[in-house]
Structure 1
Amino acid sequence: MSLPEDFTLLQVVPELDTGGAEQSTIDVAQAVVAAGGKALVATRGGRMAARLESDGGRLAQMPVQTKNPLVMLGNAARLVDLIRREKVSIVHARSRAPAFSALWAAKATHTPFIATYHGVYGAKSRLKRWYNAIMTRGDLVIANSDYTRDHVLAEHKIDPNKVVTIPRGVDLDRFNPNWVTPSRLAALREAWGIAPDDRRVKILLAGRLTRIKGHLTIVAAAAKLKAEGREDFLIIFAGDDQGRTGYREEVEQAIAEAGLSGQIKLVGHCDDIPAACVVCDLAILPTTVPESFGRAAVEPQVMGRPVIASAHGGTTETILDGKTGWLVPPGDVDAWARALARAIDAGPGELASMGALAANRSRQLYSAEAMCQATLAAYERVLDAHA
């Protein structure tokens, strides 16, 4: 898709560390640069900033993650200066706190404003609902799944024509089993302490160490399997605690008390998720609250791995129960133990067959290219409306 001449995009995201919103920011910036435009990202920074700049994007470092009203006003002034200096065409906010500064700056400079709802935000008070509604006060709202779109419409009662669904996308070049070399697999196995001849079924839970990701549900379910005499599985928890040391210690204690130190490994942050998917036989996403989309359920499918996930939120759209994976009641330890046992007993042939169907489907529906093209089309729509 061609962009208008001298098109400049400014995305505003709290940090560029890890996560779906951050990856989408990087993907869209790359697409804008590839289409001949300029891509700016206002952010506190993070480990993905180097990737942004290597792709041709530019970093505008400022404390946009703050919820301090005075600092937010300062950010708005900084963004106004940036928008005018760089002749920004569209401002795209990807989180609530920075959306306040970004919207103020966009209105002050008469620049079109778009926001992406990357999550389903709860609101138990009028004040919180007002705070969440900042994401709907621009020209267009992008929802990352139909589940999220339904929530936005029900919560904020806005014009349905103002809300479009654009599912998150996976980089199909990066997530390509053919590019995962034996040396990458060997390096990961060595880092994780997995012997080359380990024949256990390996199960990946990729995601930051936070309670809502459901690690404790899996520990309890694994304990049930071990109590039945099963030791034919190895579960990998791959993700940062991001300062949640108390929760990490709670998970470690639960593993130790259940005698599962040989069956569950906490391996920390993983930079090579494609290789992690190949090392493992299947993936799990046992979230206790609904994921608005759930990239961790799509990436393994793209790599040909079936996924077991909690039956709520966006995963009910991305997983075909019994065909590309299994959907399980969230937090139900017995149900999760049964699902894990069923997947382990399926054997390599059935897992491979499900994985092939998962790869074909997810590659068609959830590519980064499709997400970026739809996002650029949304930009074009908003620019045409302003023109």
Structure 2
Amino acid sequence: MTNARDPRIDFFRGLALIFIFWDHIPDNPFAQLTVRNFGFSDAAEIFVFLAGYAAVLAYGRVADRDGMLVACTRILRRVWVLYVVHIFVLTLLMGIVFVANNHVETRDMIQVMGLDYFVRNPQQALADQLLLRFKPNLTDPLPLYIMLLLALPLILPWLLRRPQLVIGLSVALYMMVPLFGWNLSAYEGGVWYFNPVAWQLLFVLGGVCAVRSQRPVDRVLRPLIRQPLFMTAAIYVALAGVVTLSWKWPELHEAIMPTWLKDALYPISKTDLAPLRLLHFLALAYCTAKLLPSGLAWLNSWPAQQACRMGRYSLEIFCLGVLLAPMADMANALGGDTWPIQASTALLGLGLMMLMAAGLEWNKRLGQSARVVVV
């Protein structure tokens, strides 16, 4: 695999992190601008797909350079780091929520964040936390990523050589969800909010795209408007956008959606990555890739550079966003949940995420400069 890195990957990872942060602040006005308002999928699909893309791109290069054993060892080491980070962030999150709940009178922060199970049964909750069975609100994506990355050493050799076979097996595993209801168990008889048996398909598809991006492609393409696949994807994205927007006006939704169609479409499960969500994301990703090819000048703009920087440090920025969301909710409650307060906390949180990404970038460059001096 080559060393070329598509800057769009970092940009959209950073954008997904912003959307995830805004979506997790209750009644945040900026949450009306995120991708979930314009289609069936949301930032979670972007995050998982690009996680698969970035992981296969990075560890595929290691496998080519140092061998598959070294690549798998580094994957497992990364899994351990993610596990430790998850436990640490969850501990900090619980501390923040418990402190916030002592100061907020308008709502129960413990219940909102899904920590009432810990209050009722702390010993079992701690055990379930270590087993990734207890995942309060906001913390679900990281355990999912841990499980997907843990399975990567099993599929990476085949993914690099026989991606069609891996896709076939991944689709077959995905079908086990609607056919047999497969999922991992969680606390108190529940299941994982992000079903790894279903979401692994999106992770695998991201990895396959990473493999294909490193291979020569035919540059002679027909005009964009004449591509049947693009037109089909664009129409589906547009129709999904109309349906999703109509949810904000129930009377309009009833008018444009006959009963038989609603019975066929709903529920659109996020837990099991319903086919409508999966197809919407794939169509959206395809249209975006065609309309925004790499190398455009917009990627050099200041906002795009900030998003790219956050995307390069996605783990750290995601964890910060998880901790900032309940703090923003607390500040909103203490400020009376007014629109100016809600907008200010959302923008302040975004500023802190950008500041942290800039600090991490500066620290990385400082380390590189120090190594050069030592040499």
Bigger relative CO (Cα 8 Å, ≥ 6 apart): 2
* TM-score, structure 1 as length reference: 0.24
Give the number of the structure whose residues are more often helix, by fraction. 2
* TM-score, structure 2 as length reference: 0.24
Give the number of the structure whose residues are more often strand, by fraction. 1
